């Protein structure tokens, strides 16, 4: 047995060496994750002098967990873990065991996984991570999607699938909080996060390092029960129950810890749910403009010239997309997509497009006809335009209107 949750008077040399390295590496990993921004000078020195990568990497948060900075930090993490393990092994070579420290190390891992899985799970349950495909994505050919864009569109399409995956992540996180269900929770996390890690690798999603480390954390929790799991699941043999070692025996202290554990669980679950609810509420409270939708330009006049809809034309509009959150796009006939922000004044019937991060305004007057056309006229980038557009109905998008079918006589994949 590599490690045991029971008390062991003497650990062998392999157990002690492996424990020292895992303890050093994983505690440093979390410390670097939380405090890496304060290690800029050591990280740049390490990159310049040892890795020979150069220390000009960016440290600012970009939403990616796989920046050059993260790999430099991981390299320093590994080197320091090895050095710490060697020094620790020499300085503490006569120690017989690490039962108490191992117990608290597992508590640390359990709390880390609980927080991570709760956050990742609930943000999926409340659909805060994978939003519905936006209007621009609906017009984008599949072949032009990045692998990550394809994955995000796949995940964002189904609320039910998000809830299913998110619930599995939350369940694993909750189970590792309680000592009797740690192994079950660890196995669930290994299964769920292995799938997430594989998706990150195969769809080039930049959270590869963190997802792999969550699998490592969960594996460390499951490691003591590896032989018991093999007996039960593979050899079909009975296994004995484990008498978990606890470094304190006072009943009052145990009750206090149990109460604190429950309170922490309630506070973190409640706080995360509230945070997710507020995020979803804010995103859902964005009122749709009366002009919301995909508008196809049927008549496009620049100055006095009516421009025909030729697919080679790099100037004429093909679509005007007015999405939620004041996000707009103009898609040209040659499929070039230009981003804008917009605002509407329904009383004055004015539509204003903003380019260059909102610094330049392009005002248009608009009119909605009884036949469902949108007519706009104004000046953009110095050109006087008059455009008549027809709204593209949702029924034309198979992704949105196919729906669910219990009975399928044959696969439907046009």
**Digit-coded pLDDT (tens) for 328-343:** 999 999 999 999 999 9
Query: Has residue 407 been placed in a domain?
Result: no
Shared-domain flag, residues 243 and 318:
no
Which residues, at least 6 apart from 132, have a Cβ–Cβ distance to it below 8 Å? 156, 157
405 lies in some domain? no
Residue 338's domain comprises 293-392
Domain boundary among 284, 302, 337: 284
Same domain, 222 and 315: no
Is 212 inside any structural domain? yes
Q: What is the CATH number of the domain that holds 340?
A: 2.40.128.20
User: Do 346 and 262 belong to one domain?
Assistant: no
Q: Could you tell me if 341 and 199 lie in one domain?
A: no
Residues 239 and 268 in one domain: yes
pTM to 2 decimals? 0.86
In a domain, 1, yes or no: no
Same domain, 276 and 372: no
Would residue 4 count as lying in a domain? no
Q: Are residues 298 and 354 in the same domain?
A: yes
Tens of pLDDT along the chain (414 residues)?
578 888 888 999 999 999 999 999 999 999 999 887 788 888 888 888 888 777 777 888 888 889 988 999 999 999 999 999 999 999 999 999 999 999 999 999 999 999 999 888 988 888 778 888 889 999 988 898 999 999 999 999 988 898 899 989 999 999 998 888 999 999 999 999 999 999 999 999 999 999 999 999 999 999 999 989 999 899 998 888 888 888 777 778 777 777 877 887 787 777 767 766 666 665 555 567 889 999 999 999 999 999 999 999 999 999 999 998 889 999 999 999 999 999 999 899 999 999 988 788 999 999 999 888 999 999 998 899 999 999 999 888 888 888 888 898 888 876
Last residue of a domain, one of 284, 306, 328: 284
For the chain, what is the domain count?
A: 2
Residues 136 and 210 in one domain: yes
């Amino acid at each position: 047995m590599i490690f045991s949750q029971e008390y062991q008077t003497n650990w062998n040399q392999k157990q002690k060496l492996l424990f020292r390295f895992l303890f050093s590496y994983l505690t440093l990993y979390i410390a670097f994750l939380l405090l890496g921004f304060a290690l800029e000078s050591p990280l740049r020195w390490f990159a310049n002098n040892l890795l020979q990568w150069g220390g000009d990497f960016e440290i600012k948060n970009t939403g990616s967990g796989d920046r050059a900075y993260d790999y430099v930090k991981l390299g320093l993490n590994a080197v320091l873990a090895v050095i710490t393990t060697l020094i620790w092994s020499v300085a503490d070579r006569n120690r017989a065991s690490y039962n108490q420290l191992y117990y608290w190390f597992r508590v640390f891992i359990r709390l880390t996984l609980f927080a991570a899985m709760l956050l990742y799970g609930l943000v999926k349950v409340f659909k805060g991570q994978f939003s519905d495909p936006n209007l621009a994505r609906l017009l984008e050919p599949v072949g032009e999607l990045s692998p990550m864009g394809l994955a995000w569109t796949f995940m964002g399409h189904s609320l039910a699938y998000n809830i299913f995956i998110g619930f599995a992540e939350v369940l694993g996180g909750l189970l590792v909080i309680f000592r009797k269900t740690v192994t079950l929770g660890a196995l669930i996390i290994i299964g769920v996060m292995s799938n997430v890690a594989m998706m990150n690798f195969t769809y080039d999603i930049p959270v590869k390092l963190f997802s792999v480390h969550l699998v490592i954390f969960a594996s460390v929790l499951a490691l003591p029960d590896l032989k018991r799991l093999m007996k039960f699941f593979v050899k079909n043999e009975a296994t004995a129950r484990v008498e978990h070692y606890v470094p304190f025996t006072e009943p009052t202290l145990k009750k206090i810890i149990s109460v604190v554990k429950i309170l922490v669980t309630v506070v973190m679950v409640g706080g995360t749910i509230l945070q997710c609810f507020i995020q979803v509420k804010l995103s859902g409270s964005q009122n749709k403009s009366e002009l919301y939708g995909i508008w196809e330009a049927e008549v496009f006049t620049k100055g006095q010239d009516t421009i025909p809809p030729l697919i080679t034309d790099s100037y004429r509009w093909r679509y005007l997309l007015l999405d939620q959150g004041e996000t707009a796009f103009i898609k040209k006939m040659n499929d070039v997509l230009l981003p804008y922000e917009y605002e509407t004044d329904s009383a004055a019937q004015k539509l204003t497009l903003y380019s260059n991060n909102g610094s330049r305004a392009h005002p248009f007057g608009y009119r909605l006809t009884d036949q469902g056309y949108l007519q706009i006229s104004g000046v953009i980038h110095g050109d006087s335009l008059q455009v008549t557009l027809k709204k593209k109905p949702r029924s034309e998008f198979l992704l949105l209107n196919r729906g669910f079918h219990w009975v399928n006589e044959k696969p439907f994949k046009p």
